[in-house]
A = this chain, B = another copy of it.
Amino acid sequence: MACSPSTPDDILPPPLPEPAPEDLRLDVIMGALADPLRLTIIRKLLLESEAYDHTCGWFGFDRPKSSLTHHFKALREAGLIRQRQYGLERRSRVRTEDVDERFPGLLDLVRAWDASPTRR
């Protein structure tokens, strides 16, 4: 539940609108993950984030900002990530507990995903 070890929830900015845990839909989640870039976002958050939420810029994608907004929004509306506004920055983290509760094992698939691009 905690966002970072030293930051209790009650002083965090509120999350942006997101579906309730019981409203998560497998088909919608699958659709959100049917894209290599978004798969990469989730995987990187799962494997490389160290207890902190991360901004779009942290990922280092070479895409226009408006494209990134689009994909992060898709992930948030599918219920895969939670986003909070910190001043100018919008930081994201995976909703691991909610997703694990509803779809156990799904995030493990993303963790194990072989992200190598042209694998043929």
Closest B residue to A38 by beta carbon equals: B27
Interface-central residue, A34, A110, A113, A119, by most chain B CB under 10 Å? A34
User: Is A39 touching B23 in the complex (CB atoms < 8 A)?
Assistant: no
* Residues in B whose Cβ lies below 8 Å from that of A109: 26, 103, 105-106
Q: Which of B23, B35, B105 contacts A105 (CB 8 A)?
A: B105
**A75 part of interface (Cβ distance < 8 Å):** no
**A108 part of interface (Cβ distance < 8 Å):** yes
Q: Which of B23, B31, B113 contacts A34 (CB 8 A)?
A: B31
Q: Which of B28, B104, B113, B120 contacts A26 (CB 8 A)?
A: B113
> Which 9 A-B residue pairings sit nearest by Cβ, starting from the closest?
A31-B34, A105-B105, A30-B34, A30-B33, A30-B30, A26-B113, A34-B34, A27-B36, A103-B109
